Amino acid sequence: MLDGYIYNALRTPFGRHAGALAKLRPDDMLAAVVSEVVKQSPFSPEKIEDVVVGCANQAGEDSRCVARHAGLLAGLPIEVAGSVLQRNCGSGLNAIVMAAQAVTCGEGEVMVAGGVESMSRAPFVMNKAETAFARDGRIFDSTIGARFPNPKIERQFGADTMPETADNLARDYQITREACDVFAEASQRKYAKAKADGFFAGEILPVEVPGGRAGPVKVAEDEHPRPQTDLAALAKLRPLQEGGVTTAGNASGINDGAVAMIVASRKAGDAAGAEPLARVVASGVAGVPPRIMGIGPVEASKKALARAGLSLSDIDVIEINEAFAAQVLSCLRGLELP
C-alpha cells in the first residue's frame, strides 16, 4: 500500500473557454498555486524533492516541462526538480499517486503534486512536410480531440470522439437522455449548495489576470458551473450526434485551471508538527476498449480497493470523474452503486 500524506492543497478558480483565465499562461497559472501552497505548507521549500504535474495537452505554453517552469517561476530553490506526465483525463490524479509512490519508496520526503490545463490557449498545430515542396499539411486544434492520429489505430479501434464514446456507453448500459439530464441538473445543484455552504472557500486561490486600462483583474470564482440550470432548459438542447444522449448541458466543459498540493511522508509531517488532511492508500489503472474509454474507472477502482484491502461498502464518500453524465451513470452501474 501507499503511504503518502496530503497536507494542504489549493486551486485556481476554473475558467470557462475564452473566459476570465484565457489571458493567463498555463505556466504562470500553475506557478501561482505552487508558490502559495508551498507558503501555506508546514515545510520549508528546501525540503521539496520534486514538482510532479499532470498536463494532457503540452502542445503550447505548457510544453517543455511545465512543472519545472512553474517551480522556477514560483521561486522554489533551483535544486527542486520538475516532471510532467500525461494520462489524459487522469493526469493530475496520476501526479498525486506518483508523488505518493515516491514518498513511499523513500525517494523524497516532501513533494508538490498537481495539474494544469489551459484549453483556451491550446494552439493550432501543423505537421511538417515529409518531402520537398509538399502541400499536404494538416492543421489540428489541440484544444480537443486527437492530433496526428495513427491510421492503423483508427482502422483497428475506430476514431470515436469523447462525446461519441459517452454515447457508446449510453447504448451499452441503456442510459437514457432523461437520466443524463437529471444527473446533470443534480450536479449543478450540488455545486450551488457547496458554494453557498463555503465548501470551496479554503481551496480557491484568487488569481490576477492581465486587464485593460483598468489594470489587472482578480478572478476568485469558478465560471463554468451554471446553478440556474433546470431540466426544462436541458431538455431543449440538441444532442451532439443524431440518436445520442450527450448534449452541451450534460457534458464536461472546456476549461482553464491549475491545482497544487503538498504530498509528504508522515515522518516529515510529524517533524514539522503538522497533521495531514488525508492519506493516499492505493491506486489502480485499467485499459478498456477505446470506444468506451469512460468505463475505465470501474476496473481501476476495483484494483485500488483490492490493493487497499477494502470494499465499496467501506467507503463513505465516492468521487468519479464527471466527464459526461452518460459516462458517470455507466460507471455507477458498472460498480453497482445507486
- Is residue 49 a part of any domain in this protein? yes
The range of the structural domain enclosing residue 45 comes to 1-120+254-281
- Is residue 27 a part of any domain in this protein? yes
- Is residue 2 a part of any domain in this protein? yes
**Angle, to 10 degrees, between the axis of helix 177-196 and the axis of helix 325-334?**
100
**What is the number of domains present in the chain?**
1
- Is residue 245 a part of any domain in this protein? no
Q: What is the pLDDT of residues 9-36, one digit of tens each?
A: 999 999 999 999 999 999 999 999 999 9
- Is residue 159 a part of any domain in this protein? no
Cell of 310: 477494502
Q: Which residues contact 312 (CB under 8 A, 6 or more apart)?
A: 301, 305, 318, 335, 336, 337
Q: What's this model's pTM, rounded to 2 decimal places? A: 0.96
CA 181 to chain centre: 23
Q: What is the pLDDT of residues 99-137, one digit of tens each?
A: 999 999 999 999 999 999 999 999 999 999 999 999 889
Could you tell me the CA-to-CA distances from 275 to 8, 34, 268, 272, 280 in Å, in that order?
10, 20, 10, 9, 14
Q: Using CA atoms, how far apart are residues 13 and 20, in angstroms rounded to an integer?
A: 10
Q: Which of 97, 106, 115, 111 is nearest to 263 (CA)?
A: 111
- Is residue 214 a part of any domain in this protein? no
pLDDT, the chain, mean: 97
Q: What percent of the chain has pLDDT over 70?
A: 100
For the domain that residue 268 is a member of, what is the CATH number? Answer: 3.40.47.10
Please report the DSSP string for 212-223 in residue order.
STT--EEE-S-S
Question: What values do phi and psi take at 237, rounded to 5?
Answer: -75, 140
- Is residue 226 a part of any domain in this protein? no
Band the pLDDT of 3: cuts 50, 70, 90: very high
- Is residue 16 a part of any domain in this protein? yes
> Beta strand 124-126 with 278-280: parallel, antiparallel or unpaired?
unpaired
